């Protein structure tokens, strides 16, 4: 019995000593955490990108300032030609582009703000064509009946787009979701034309003469267009300074042809 009690006492003493030693071991902090480790996004970065999207043009009223001078002191203005609905309306087309981006980030714990320039080269735009013809129901003040046809066309093609933007995001682990907004500049080729064909007759039923042709054209190459843009995206840290980007941008350019462009973009960048 004495031997049993002695063995029990010795076992208890050894166990207590081991427990005391374990209690003195340092705790490894950061070995496990529910929150992912935040990436350092501060600094300069550059990258390349590809884009696909749609451009929406509103050509309504685009050629009014070309048509109006052609009707000045012209007898056919009695047919209210200036107010004809020539059918120039809205056009939507798809296009693709490629380019790059560069910027600088400032990071305050998990909040990231930055300034960036984004560039795309591609082909966004559209064309609208319309025609309307009308014979006067009565003789005009020149004593003739007039058969008038107006052809109108307008087109725009934006080949280069650059956006100067500010952005703000929240860093969570290797992810940086962000929103942005800024001003946009584009290089556009714009072409507009209006042609009036006017035939006359002494009778509403004809025969009508060969048409008198009068027209106006406005062609602008490498025309600077200005607008604004906004959107959202996400940067994903891959390894070292390498990161991947996915983004959506809306840009609007208010020129003689009101144009808006929506693009989705994928990119690859490197932060120094």
Could you give all domains of the chain from N- to C-terminal order, each with its CATH number? 42-271 (2.40.160.20)
**Once rounded to an integer, what is the mean pLDDT over residues 151-163?**
95
Say if residues 248 and 52 touch (Cβ distance below 8 Å). no
- What's residue 28's pLDDT? 37
Residue with token string 């959506």: 248
- What's residue 187's pLDDT? 96
DSSP state at residue 76: G
Highest mean pLDDT, choosing among 6-20, 62-76, 190-204: 190-204
DSSP state at residue 206: -
DSSP state at residue 228: E
| 94-104 per-position pLDDT tens digit | 999 999 999 99
DSSP state at residue 148: E
Q: Which residues, including other chains, have CB under 8 Å from residue 64's CB and lie 6 or more apart?
A: none
Say if residues 227 and 233 touch (Cβ distance below 8 Å). no
DSSP state at residue 60: T
pLDDT band of residue 16 (cuts 50, 70, 90) is very low
- What's residue 5's pLDDT? 35
Query: What secondary structure does DSSP assign to 84-141, as a single string?
Result: ------EEEEEEEEEEEEEEEEEEETTEEEEEEEEEEEEEEEEEEEEEEEEE-SS--T
Q: How far is CA 121 from the centre of its chain?
A: 12
Find the radius of gyration of the CA atoms of the chain. 35
Backbone CA torsion sign across 203, 205, 207, 209 = positive
Q: Which residues, including other chains, have CB under 8 Å from residue 29's CB and lie 6 or more apart?
A: none
Percent of the residues in the chain that have a pLDDT greater than 70, as a whole number: 87
- What's residue 34's pLDDT? 52
**Once rounded to an integer, what is the mean pLDDT over residues 253-263?**
92
pTM of the model: 0.78
Say if residues 203 and 136 touch (Cβ distance below 8 Å). no
| 222-232 per-position pLDDT tens digit | 999 999 999 99
Q: C-alpha distances in angstroms, 202 versus 73, 133, 141, 146? A: 21, 18, 12, 9
Is the pLDDT at 24 greater than 80? The verdict is: no
Is the pLDDT at 31 greater than 60? The verdict is: no
């Amino acid at each position: 019995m004495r031997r049993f009690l002695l063995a029990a006492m010795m076992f208890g003493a050894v166990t207590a000593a081991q427990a005391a030693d374990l209690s003195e071991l340092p705790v490894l902090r950061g070995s496990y955490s529910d929150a992912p480790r935040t990436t350092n996004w501060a600094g300069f970065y550059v990258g390349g990108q590809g884009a696909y999207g749609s451009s929406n043009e509103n050509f309504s009223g685009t050629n009014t300032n070309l048509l109006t001078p052609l009707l000045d002191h012209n007898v056919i203005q009695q047919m209210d030609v200036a107010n004809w609905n020539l059918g120039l309306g809205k056009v939507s087309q798809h296009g693709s582009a490629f380019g790059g981006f560069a910027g600088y980030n400032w990071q305050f714990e998990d909040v990231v703000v930055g300034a960036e320039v984004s560039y795309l080269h591609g082909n966004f735009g559209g064309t609208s064509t319309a025609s309307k013809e009308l014979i006067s129901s009565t003789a005009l003040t020149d004593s003739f009946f007039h058969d008038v046809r107006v052809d109108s066309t307008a087109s725009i093609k934006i080949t280069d787009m650059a956006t100067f933007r500010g952005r703000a995001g929240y860093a969570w682990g290797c992810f940086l979701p962000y929103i942005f907004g800024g001003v946009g500049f584009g290089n556009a080729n714009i072409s507009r034309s209006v042609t009036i064909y006017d035939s006359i007759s002494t009778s509403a039923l004809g025969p009508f003469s060969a048409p008198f042709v009068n027209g106006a054209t406005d062609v602008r190459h490498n025309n600077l267009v200005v607008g604004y843009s906004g959107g959202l995206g996400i940067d994903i840290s891959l390894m070292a300074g390498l990161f991947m980007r996915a983004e959506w941008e809306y840009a609007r350019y208010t020129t003689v042809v009101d144009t808006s462009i929506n693009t989705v973009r994928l990119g690859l960048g490197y932060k120094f």
